[in-house]
Amino acid sequence: PSAPTKEQPARGVTIVKPERKTIHREVAQPGLIEAFERTTIVARIPGYVLKWNVDIGDPIKKGDILAKLWVPEMESDLKLKEEQVLQARKILELTKAQMVTAKSQVQEAEAAHSRAQYTHDYWKGQSSRFDSLVMGSVLDKSTQEETLNQFRSAASALAEAKAKIASAKAVEKEKAVAQEKAEVDIRAADAVRQTQADLVGYATLTAPYDGGVTQKNVNTQQFVQPATGGKGDVLYVVEKIDKVRIFVAVPETDADWVRIGAAATIRVQALQGKQFTGTVTRTAWSLQQVN
């Protein structure tokens, strides 16, 4: 150039070596906050609402009574089933008493048989001895006949005693079978009563866990129907909110970077951008079509 120019400074070159470092990649996407658990409370039996105890926003504890239904016919049927159980137990007590009596009768028959056996053996011995004496002309024939009659009478009494033992044992066996049947009847009646009690228990709607009420669709004297085919009157909706779930839809290009255990930061706009830290606990690996 015709005009003098200022001398350009020399450019420096720095030589470096590559290093291995961890690259941190962040995936930022909007998410949804949902209750950890959400349960709809429906009726298991038809009935009228007798009383409701909680409203929207009320905190609840596990086992708290949310509402009670009025089912008078089921309660009356339950009382009938309870009376039938009591009746079956009374019958069992009666059969046990009869069983004791039957055992006593067997013992009495066996004792009578022992006495009859002793008498039979005694007169049998006497009859044999008197036969020898008559043959030796020591005793007369009439005495022999009298002894023989006593022996025959003792034999008949022995046979009668054996028959009474058999009869008493038959009665004992009959009472034992009756006692077993009474015990079976009690179990059957108690099972029917328990089934009815379970149905009546469905009239009391209780909280499944600690949480809060988010919906209430129940009013006093309202008739409610049980849920059939997955549908029914939703009386309450309760949610467990002491712990919540954060659901985030991640684009396919970033999905592989989101692993279980990865650090996560949640910024809640409703809390003026307050941040919470945690970790990824689950991934669905489900593809969703976006229109």
Place of tokens 């200022």: 6
Q: How far is it, in rounded angstroms, from Cα 85 to Cα 115?
A: 45
For residue 101, pLDDT beyond 90: no
- How far is residue 41's CA from residue 66's CA, in Å, rounded to a whole number? 9
Q: Against a cut of 0.85, is the pTM above it?
A: no
pLDDT digits (tens, 9 = 90+) for 232-256: 678 999 999 888 899 998 888 888 8
* pLDDT category of residue 136 using cuts at 50, 70 and 90: low
- Cα–Cα distance between 136 and 72 in angstroms, integer? 95
pLDDT digits (tens, 9 = 90+) for 103-129: 888 888 888 888 888 887 777 777 666
Check pLDDT > 70 for residue 134.
no
Radius of gyration in angstroms for the set of CA atoms belonging to the chain, rounded to a whole number: 47
pLDDT at 1: 55
Distance CA 201, CA 254 (A): 51
Indicate the pLDDT class of residue 139, thresholds 50, 70 and 90: low
d(CA 190, CA 171): 28
pLDDT of residue 12: 84
